[in-house]
Structure 1
Amino acid sequence: MRFLESIRAIPKLPKRLERLEELAYNFWWTWNPSAEAVFKKMDIDLWYEQKRSPVKLLRRISQKKLNELAKDDDFLELYDSVLKNFDDYIKSEDTWMRRNYPDKTENTIAYFCAEYGIHESFPIYSGGLGVLAGDHLKTASDMGFNLVAVGLLYRNGYFSQLLDKNGWQQNIYQTYDFEDLPVKEVNDEDGEEIIVTVQFPERKVYAKVWRAEIGRVPLYLLDTDIDKNKQDDRKITKQLYGGDRETRIMQEIVLGIGGVRALRMLGYNPSVWHMNEGHAAFLAIERIREYMIGKNLDFKSAIEATRSSNVFTTHTPVPAGNDVFDPILIDKYFSEFWVSLGMTRRDFMELGSEKAKSGYEHFSMTVLALRLSAFANGVSLLHGKVSRKMWNHIFPDLPEIEVPIDHITNGVHFWTWLNRDLYALFNKYFPENWEEKITDPEIWENVDKIPNEALWSVHCKLKQRLRKFSQGRLKRQRERLGETVEELAEVKNILPENVLTIGFARRFATYKRATLVLKDIDRLKKMLTDPEKPVQFIYSGKAHPADDPGKELIKRLYEISRLPEFKNRIVFVENYDTNIARHMVSGVDVWLNTPRRPHEASGTSGEKAGMNGVLNFSVLDGWWVEGYNGSNGWAIGDNRDYDDKELQDRIDSVSIYNSLENEIIPTYYKRNENGIPESWVEKMKNSIKSVGKRFNTHRMLVEYAEKLYFKTIETANYVKTNNYDKARKLAEWKERLQANWKNIRIKPNKIAPSLEESIKVGTKLRLTANVYLGELKPEEVRVEIFLAIFGEDGKMNEYKIYPMKLQKNDVQNEYIYSGEFTIEQEGRIAYTLRVVPNDDYLPFRKYFSMAKWVN
C-alpha cells in the first residue's frame, strides 16, 4: 500500500484550557510544584511515560481526556490558580533588581554557554556546567535581571548511558524531534524564520534560531540542522561535546559569532557579555569585527571597546576542560576573517596564543577569554586561587596574588533543588514570606524550631522514595540485560531505609576518584556487612564518551556491586540525569565527594545535598572549603595539596575509613528511645542552615551583579565616551606604555633596615628611589611600594600597596620618588618597588595588567 503522506495528528486544546500550551513552553513550571501538578493531574501515567515533559504530554494526551478536563471543576480550580501565580510572576515589578538597582534594569546582560541543564526533559546538558547555567537563568528570572541567554540546540542532545552485562558504558544517542521540545521558532516581523549566517572556509553556514522561556528570561538556541546547509554542516549542532576537534571549533564559532549575530538580528544591544566558560569566547572576536566595521575603530581600539563590556567565568582547573586548538585549525577558519579586516595573522593569534609545556604553541579559548574580558572569575574561593596560579603566565608582570581573576562561589537554585516535602515542613516553622529572604542568615535560624522528630520523619520518607525510585530503575536495567527471575527478585531487597546510605553521583572523570573508597576492599567489606550497623552505597554518573579511563571506574564499581559479598550494599543506577540527582540529593544520608584536590572547581551537587539535610563527607576542595564548619558534615583528608598522587590517595582513603568507623557510623546508629538519631539530626539542621543561607544562586547573582555586571557597565560606559574616543586613547596609550616599558629602571637609593632582622610592629620605614622613565612622563605612571605578607607555609597570602610621591626631576628623564609604610602586623614580610600605569587614566586599577619591578 502506498501512502501519499504521513502526518501526526495532535489533540486540540479546548478554549478553556488553551493557556496550557503557554505553561508547557515556559520552564517556570519546573520550580513551581503546583504548575507541575497541573500536568501530572491531566494523565499521571502518560506524564511519567513521557518523562515528565509537558510538551510531549500535550501532544499525546487523548482529545477525550482534554474535553473532560475542560469540565472538571477541581482541575480547573488548580489550573486557574496556577495561571494567576504565573501571570503575577511574569508581570511582577517587585523584583530584587527594581528594589535595589532600578537604574540598571534596562541594561541587558547577554549570557553565553555551550550547555544548559534546565530539566531532564530538555537534554542539552552534560553535567555541572550546564546545570549551573540553568540555575543561573532561573535565578536571573526570579530576581528580575534583564538577561538574555544564548546556546546551541543539539539534534542528538547528550548521550544516554546504558551499561552492558560487564558494566561497560554504552553511549546511546537519540534523535530529537524539536516539536517535542519546549522551544519555538523565532520569526521576524514578516513571519519568516530568523536565520543567522556565519562564514566558514569557502562556504557559508546557516543557523536557525529557536527560543525557550525560562520564567522571564529568553534562551535563544542556534541549530544548523536545516535544509540550507550542506549535509556535513547540518551535523555541527548534532551532539553536545561530540565529534573531533574540528567539530568543536565549528560549534564554538556558531555559538560565539553566530550567537552575537542572532542577538543583533533580534534587536538586542547588551551592556554586558558574559562568557560562561571558554566555549563562548569567539563572541569577543565577532564584537571586535563589529567595532571595526560599525564604529570604524582600528584593531587595537576595537579590542579595548570589546573587552570593556565582557565578563568571563572559568569553571575548571583541569587542562582537558580548557579548550585549545591547533593553529592550523585557526588558520583554516579565521584567515579570511583577519584578512577581511586588514589584520595580520600575528594580531589574531596573539589574542589566544599560549605555549604548552612541551613548547608547542596552541590557541587557547580560556586565554582568548581572559585577554578580551574586563573581569574574570573562578567559581569558589579555592578555585579563584588555583586559577590565578594556573593563568599567571598570561599576566607575567603580576605576582600570582594580583592576577585579575576574582571568585564568586557557585550556588544552586533553591526552588529547583529543595525537596518539596522539606519546603512544606519549612513553611510550618518559618515566618510568612520567608521565600523572599533566603539570603538573610536570620531566616535560617528558624530551622532550629523544627522538632527533630518532624525533620527525621520527612528524611525517612525521602529515603523511602529514593529506594522505590532506584529499585524501578535497577529492575528495568536488569530486565534489559536479560537477567534471571532470581536476579530480578533481588532488586526488592536493595537500599533498605534503615541502613546508613551514602550517595556518590557526578561526572565520572578520573580526578573525581569514584573508586577511592575501594582502596582497602576488606576494610570496606567489614563496614558494609556489619550485621548491626551496616552501610550501603548508591552510585550514578556518566563518563565522557571518549573517556575510557572514566568508563573503567564505572566498570570497576559495577563489578564490585555484583559480587555476592557486596550484593545489595553497592548499587549503580545508570543514565544519570537531573531526575536521579533530585532523588539522590534528598534521599541519601551522606553525600560523598572525593576529588583530587585542588581539581574540583566547585562541586554544586554537595550544595544541593546540604540544603536538603544530607550531610556532606568531602575532600576540602571546591565549595566545601568554605562550607565546612565542623558541625555540618565531615572533611576527608586535610586542607593541603600533594604532588604525589598515590600518597594523596592513600591518605584520603584512610581518612574515609577512619571517619566512617569512628564518627559517621556511630553517630547515625546512636538513637534515643524514640529511634531518633538526635546528634545526626542536629548535624542535618546545621547543614540546612549553613548551606541554605550562603550557597544559593540568589546570593551568587547578587555577587555577579555587584562585583562584575555593574562594574562592567561602568567600564563600558567609560570606554565608549565621545563615540569611543576613549577606546582609541586607551589603545594609543597602551601602545605607548608597551613601547617604553622595557626602558623603565628603578634604583632604590635608600634601603630600610633588613627585614631578615627582627623589627617591631609600629616601626615606620622610609624609602627613596631614582626612577628612569625614558619617554614616559611622571603623570603617566604610579611608583609604589609593594609589601608582601607571607604565611607560615612561606606563600604570599596578602599584600599592601603604598604610593610613592614624586620629589623632584633629577636629570635626563630620571625622577626621585619617596614613600613610607608602617609595619602593622607581626610575621614574615618583604617589600619591593614597582612602576604601574596611572589608573587615573583607566576605567579601573587593573585594567592594564602591567608592572615594572626593581631588577
Structure 2
Amino acid sequence: MNVIGQVTVLPELPGSIGRLSELAYNLYWSWTPHAQALYQALDAEIWERFQHNPVRTLLEVPQARLDELAADADYLERYRQVLADFDAYLNKQDTWAKQNAAKMAPVAYFSMEYGFHESLPIYSGGLGVLAGDHCKSASDLGLPFTAVGMLFHQGYFRQLLNKDGWQEEAYDELDLTTLPIRPARTSSGDEARVQVRIAERDVHVRVWELAVGRIRVLLLDTNVPENREDDRKLTARLYGGNQELRLQQYALLGVAGIRALRALNIPAGVYHMNEGHAALLGLERVREFVEGGLDFRAAVEAVASSTLFTTHTPVPAGNDAFAYELVDRFLAKWPGRLHVSRDELYALARHDQFWDGHWVPTFSMTVFALNMSRAANGVSELHGEVSRDMWKFLYPGAEVAEVPIGHVTNGAHNLTFTSQAMRDLLSTVLPQGWEERLEDEAMWQAAEGLSDAQLADVQRDMKRGMVQFVRRRMREQKIRNGASAAEVAATDTLLSEDALTIGFARRFATYKRATLLFRDRERLSRIVNDPQRPVQFVFAGKAHPADNPGKAFIQELYRMSQEPEFQGRIVILENYDMNVARWLVQGVDIWLNNPRRPLEASGTSGMKASFNGAPNFSILDGWWREGYDTTNGWPIGEEREYADLNVQDDADAYSLYSTLEEQIVPLYYGQADAEGRGGWAGTVRRAIQTVSPRFSMQRQVIDYVQGYYLPLTTRGAAVAAGGGQRAREIAGWKTWVRQQWPHTSLSASADLPTTARPGQTVEVRASVNPAGIRPEDLRVEAVLKRGDHVTRVPLAHAQGGQYSAQVTLPDSGLYAVGVRMLPVIDGLSSELEAGLIKWA
C-alpha cells in the first residue's frame, strides 16, 4: 500500500492496571524481572517478537486481553506488588547519596553509547553496557545525575551469520513511537531543540528523554525535517561511516549535549566524559566562560577543574585522532568563538603520529580530554598502569607511576544480570534489603549458608533455560539459511544439560583471541568428547562491520563448530546483545576470557557470570587480575609480558588445556582438585561471595563519588568562584612560569659512597637559577629509583638558589639518584599539572 502517514493508537488500560503505561516508560523494569513478567503475561509471543519492549507490547496486545487480565486476581496481586516496589524505589528518601554525598554537585555524564536493554539498541558492547549500568547504579544510590547520549535510529547492527559463517550486517530503523522515550520539554512546555554549527551550516537537534529509575537520560537526535538529508543521518548509526561522520557526531555529543542541559535548566557541577568521544564538550563549556568574561586560558582552567575523563582503550589505534585539515573543515569557527589562535586551541589536542611515512600532528580526542580535565582514570588497576605509560609523553620528565591517571575498576549492575531464581535463593540467606547494600563484602559472607543442593538446583534450572534458548536461536538460524530438515531437527538435541558448559561472549576484536581454544585441535577434541566427562562451549559476539580479521575469527569458530568432532559441543550464536548476554551469564557453568594481556582494559561479562555462580577461567588481565583469589575461579597463563606473540599464544593455550584437564573438569565431575579444595559448590559460593560485592556497579559508582565526584565538586566550585578569580590566577601563573621556564637552570651534586648500608643517609645538594620564579613556587627534590619503585625527597631552600637535604637509603639494592625541580602552587590538581619538569 502507499503509506501517507502513521498514527499510534494507544491502548485504553483498565483502571485496575492503569499504571502499566507509566511503568513501561521507566527503565526500572529492565532490572526487575517481576515487572517484566507483567508485560510478558500480556502476550508471550509479542513480548519475544519485539525484544521485550513493554511499550510496544502494550501497543500490540488486543484490548480484550487487557480487559481479561484486569479481572485476573492473581495478575492484579502481582501488579500491585510490582507497583508498590516501584513507588518505594522512586520515593525513597534515605538514599546512600543523601547519607554520604549530600554536598556533591550534580553530575552530567556523557557517553557515545548506552546499553540499558536490548529493546533500545543504541550500544555496541561493553562500553555502552557499562555506561547503562553506571546510570542504573547512580539511580539506585540516589545521586544527582543526568546522562547525555545519542539516539541512533538504526542503532548498531543486527548480526546475521550466513551458511558459511560469515558475519552480515542488517540495520533496522527504530520506530521511536514504540520506544520507552519521550520528547524532552522545556519549562515552557515546548519540545527541547538546540542547534550546533558544523562547517558552514546549522544542525538542528531534537532532545529526547529517557527515565532510568530516579535519573534522566537525554538523547540527541538530528533526524528532523529542518536538517538536510546528510545531517539527518548524523544520528543514524553508532560507529558507522568514516572519520568525517565520527568527528561530526563527537561535536554533536559534546556541544549539543551541553546545550541540551542548558535548554532544560538541568544543573551540573561535575562533568564526566566516558571515553574520548565526549571530549568536545570542553569547547562549549569554554565558550560559556569566555562569554562570561574569562579569557581562553582562564576558561580552560575553570572547565577542567570540574571535569573527569575515563579512558577505556589500552591500544593506540582505539583512540580517535583526526588530521588538522579535517578538524578545520568542521570546527574552523571555534578558535574565533573562543578568542584564541588555532594553534593554541589545537595544541590542547596535539598528538604527533606516524601517518603515511612521516610524523604529522593530529587532533587527538584522548589528548584533548586529558588536557580539558583535571582528573582521569583507567578502568582497572592494570589498565591504569598501561594508560599512564601510553600518555606519559604529555608529562615529559615524569616517571610513569607519577602520570596523573588513576583507576576505578569497572563493575556491573548486579540486578540487571542476576537471574530472578538466583535472587530468590540469595534472599534466603542475605539480610532484608540486601539489594541496596551490594557493595558490602561482609554481608556477602552469608552466601556460605547456601547448600550444595540449593545451588545445584538453581543453576540446573538456569542452564536448562539457556540450552532451550540456544536451541531456539540455532533452529531459527538454520531455517533462515536453508538448512536441510535433518540439520534443523538436530538443533532439538543441541547441547546437554549434564555437560560442563563454558561460555565466551564479547566483541570479536582480534586481541580477544576467540580462536585460541583451537590452537591444539586434537587436544581440544579429547576434552570435549570425553564420554564420562564431556565439555561444551557456547560462543557469541559481533565484529565491527569494518573489521574483516574479526569476522574471520567468527567464521573460523563457525566452521570448527561444524566439524564432526565438535558438532554439538561447540556452538556460536548470532546477534549477541543484552538478551543473549543474560541467558549466557545465567546459564553457563564457567566463563572463559582469554585476551592478549595487557590489552583487556577491564572486561565485565565475567563479573555477571559470577553473580550467578559461574566461576571465571580467564587471563590475569583487566578486572580478573584483581578479582582472582585462588578460590573463586582459575587463571590462564602467567602474569607476565611476552616479546613474541606466538610464544604468548602457545603458553596461554597450553595453560588453558592443562587447567581444564587437571583442575576444572575433575572438580566439576566430583573429584577433588590437586589442592584439596572443596567441591564444585565451594568454588561457586566463593565466586558469588567475592565477585558480587567487589565488582558490583554500586561499588564502582561509590568509588567515583568518593574518589572523583566529591573532590571535583569542591575544586570546581573554588576555581570558578568569584567570576573565576582562581581560574584567572592559575592561568596567569602558568603563563608566567612557562614563559620563564626555558631561562631556569638546575645543577646538583651528592656525596654518594660506592656502597652503603640500609638506613644510611647521604647529602644531596642543588643550585637553582629560578629566572624570577618565586622559591615557594618551586619544588626541588631528590629522586631515588630502585627498579620501578620511586622515592621523592624534597630539598630544603637555604639561601639564594641553594637547596639541600639528608636523604636516607631505606633498603638494600641498586639506587639511581637524581635531582629535579618542578613548579607548583597550592590548589593544583597534581604537582605535574603545569607539565614542566627540569632534571639536573
Q: What is the TM-score when the length of structure 2 is the normalising length?
A: 0.97
Task: Give CA deviations for 1:292-343 in whole Å, capped at 9, x if unaligned.
Answer: 11x2111111111111111000001122321111211101111112123332
Do 2:103 and 2:710's aligned partners in 1 also have CA atoms closer than 8 Å?
no
Match of 1:434? 434
CA distance in 2, matches of 1:309, 1:4: 50
Offset of residue 678 of structure 1: 5.6
How many residues are paired up? 833
Task: Give CA deviations for 1:556-581 in whole Å, capped at 9, x if unaligned.
Answer: 01011111221101111110011111
Task: Give CA deviations for 1:462-495 in whole Å, capped at 9, x if unaligned.
Answer: 1111101100111111011111111111112211
Match of 1:114? 112
- Residue in structure 2 matching 1:246, options 233, 244, 247: 244
Q: Which amino acid letter does the alignment assign opposite residue 473 of structure 1?
A: R
Structure 1 pair 11–478 and aligned structure 2 pair: CA distance change class (3 A):
same
Offset of residue 6 of structure 1: 5.3
Offset of residue 203 of structure 1: 1.0
- The answer to whether 1:21 aligns with 2:21 is yes
Q: Secondary structure at the match of 1:305?
A: helix
Do 2:375 and 2:829's aligned partners in 1 also have CA atoms closer than 8 Å?
no
Do 1:309 and 1:373's aligned partners in 2 also have CA atoms closer than 8 Å?
yes
Q: Which amino acid letter does the alignment assign opposite residue 809 of structure 2?
A: I
Shifted more, 498-507 versus 433-442: the winner is 433-442
Do 1:122 and 1:181's aligned partners in 2 also have CA atoms closer than 8 Å?
yes
- Residue in structure 1 matching 2:137, options 126, 136, 139: 139
Gaps of 5+ in 2: none
Match of 1:375? 375
Task: Give CA deviations for 1:571-606 in whole Å, capped at 9, x if unaligned.
Answer: 111100111111111211121111111100001011
CA distance in 2, matches of 1:556, 1:641: 27
Offset of residue 19 of structure 1: 1.8
Q: Secondary structure at the match of 1:296?
A: coil
Match of 1:487? 487
Offset of residue 158 of structure 1: 0.9
User: After superposition, where does 1:347-426 map in structure 2 within 5 Å?
Assistant: 347-357=344-354, 358-426=358-426
CA distance in 1, matches of 2:566, 2:98: 56
Shifted more, 598-607 versus 93-102: the winner is 93-102
Do 2:610 and 2:687's aligned partners in 1 also have CA atoms closer than 8 Å?
yes
CA distance in 2, matches of 1:120, 1:699: 25
Q: Secondary structure at the match of 1:542?
A: coil
CA distance in 2, matches of 1:831, 1:627: 36
CA distance in 2, matches of 1:586, 1:844: 44
Q: Which amino acid letter does the alignment assign opposite residue 313 of structure 2?
A: T
- The answer to whether 1:465 aligns with 2:465 is yes
Structure 1 pair 34–737 and aligned structure 2 pair: CA distance change class (3 A):
same
CA distance in 1, matches of 2:617, 2:4: 62
Match of 2:733? 733
CA distance in 2, matches of 1:186, 1:528: 54
Q: Which amino acid letter does the alignment assign opposite residue 621 of structure 1?
A: D
- Residue in structure 2 matching 1:335, options 332, 336, 348: 332
Q: Secondary structure at the match of 1:65?
A: helix
Match of 1:806? 797
Q: Which amino acid letter does the alignment assign opposite residue 670 of structure 1?
A: G
Shifted more, 346-355 versus 189-198: the winner is 189-198
Q: Superposition RMSD on alpha carbons, in Å? A: 1.7
CA distance in 1, matches of 2:536, 2:750: 68
Q: Which amino acid letter does the alignment assign opposite residue 594 of structure 1?
A: N
CA distance in 1, matches of 2:396, 2:831: 17
User: After superposition, where does 1:677-826 map in structure 2 within 5 Å?
Assistant: 679-754=679-754, 757=755, 759-790=756-787, 796=788, 798-809=789-800, 815-826=801-812
Do 1:10 and 1:60's aligned partners in 2 also have CA atoms closer than 8 Å?
no
Structure 1 pair 457–509 and aligned structure 2 pair: CA distance change class (3 A):
same
Shifted more, 736-745 versus 832-841: the winner is 832-841
CA distance in 1, matches of 2:429, 2:687: 17
Offset of residue 543 of structure 1: 0.3
Task: Give CA deviations for 1:514-549 in whole Å, capped at 9, x if unaligned.
Answer: 001111111111212222222111100000011000
Do 1:719 and 1:843's aligned partners in 2 also have CA atoms closer than 8 Å?
no
Q: Secondary structure at the match of 1:840?
A: coil
Offset of residue 838 of structure 1: 2.8
Do 1:452 and 1:678's aligned partners in 2 also have CA atoms closer than 8 Å?
no
- The answer to whether 1:304 aligns with 2:301 is yes
Task: Give CA deviations for 1:252-288 in whole Å, capped at 9, x if unaligned.
Answer: 1110001001101111231111000000000011111
Q: Secondary structure at the match of 1:742?
A: helix
User: After superposition, where does 1:565-576 map in structure 2 within 5 Å?
Assistant: 565-576=565-576
Q: Secondary structure at the match of 2:657?
A: helix
Offset of residue 2 of structure 1: 8.2
Q: Which amino acid letter does the alignment assign opposite residue 26 of structure 1?
A: N
Q: Which amino acid letter does the alignment assign opposite residue 170 of structure 2?
A: I
Do 2:374 and 2:829's aligned partners in 1 also have CA atoms closer than 8 Å?
no
CA distance in 2, matches of 1:782, 1:565: 68
Structure 1 pair 6–516 and aligned structure 2 pair: CA distance change class (3 A):
closer
- The answer to whether 1:290 aligns with 2:281 is no
Do 2:286 and 2:338's aligned partners in 1 also have CA atoms closer than 8 Å?
no
- Residue in structure 2 matching 1:154, options 148, 152, 155: 152
Structure 1 pair 158–6 and aligned structure 2 pair: CA distance change class (3 A):
closer
Match of 1:834? 820
Offset of residue 720 of structure 1: 1.4
Do 1:413 and 1:696's aligned partners in 2 also have CA atoms closer than 8 Å?
yes
Offset of residue 431 of structure 1: 2.5
Shifted more, 582-591 versus 107-116: the winner is 582-591
Offset of residue 137 of structure 1: 0.2
Structure 1 pair 97–789 and aligned structure 2 pair: CA distance change class (3 A):
farther
Structure 1 pair 181–205 and aligned structure 2 pair: CA distance change class (3 A):
same
CA distance in 2, matches of 1:149, 1:816: 52
Task: Give CA deviations for 1:420-443 in whole Å, capped at 9, x if unaligned.
Answer: 211111111223333332222211
Match of 1:32? 32
Offset of residue 844 of structure 1: 4.8
CA distance in 1, matches of 2:229, 2:725: 46
- Residue in structure 2 matching 1:326, options 307, 323, 343: 323
Match of 1:546? 546
Q: Secondary structure at the match of 1:536?
A: strand
Do 1:206 and 1:229's aligned partners in 2 also have CA atoms closer than 8 Å?
yes
Task: Give CA deviations for 1:394-434 in whole Å, capped at 9, x if unaligned.
Answer: 22131111011000000011111122211111111223333
Q: Secondary structure at the match of 2:206?
A: strand
Shifted more, 136-145 versus 776-785: the winner is 776-785
CA distance in 2, matches of 1:336, 1:191: 32
CA distance in 1, matches of 2:269, 2:562: 56
CA distance in 2, matches of 1:391, 1:18: 55
Match of 1:528? 528
- The answer to whether 1:344 aligns with 2:330 is no
Q: What is the TM-score when the length of structure 1 is the normalising length?
A: 0.95
Offset of residue 801 of structure 1: 2.5
Task: Give CA deviations for 1:582-638 in whole Å, capped at 9, x if unaligned.
Answer: 111121112111111110000101111122211211111101110111111111111
Do 2:744 and 2:768's aligned partners in 1 also have CA atoms closer than 8 Å?
yes
- Residue in structure 2 matching 1:198, options 189, 196, 219: 196
Offset of residue 4 of structure 1: 7.2
CA distance in 2, matches of 1:336, 1:7: 42
Offset of residue 98 of structure 1: 0.7
CA distance in 2, matches of 1:3, 1:282: 40
CA distance in 2, matches of 1:5, 1:636: 58
Q: Secondary structure at the match of 2:234?
A: coil
Q: Which amino acid letter does the alignment assign opposite residue 241 of structure 1?
A: Y
Offset of residue 85 of structure 1: 1.4
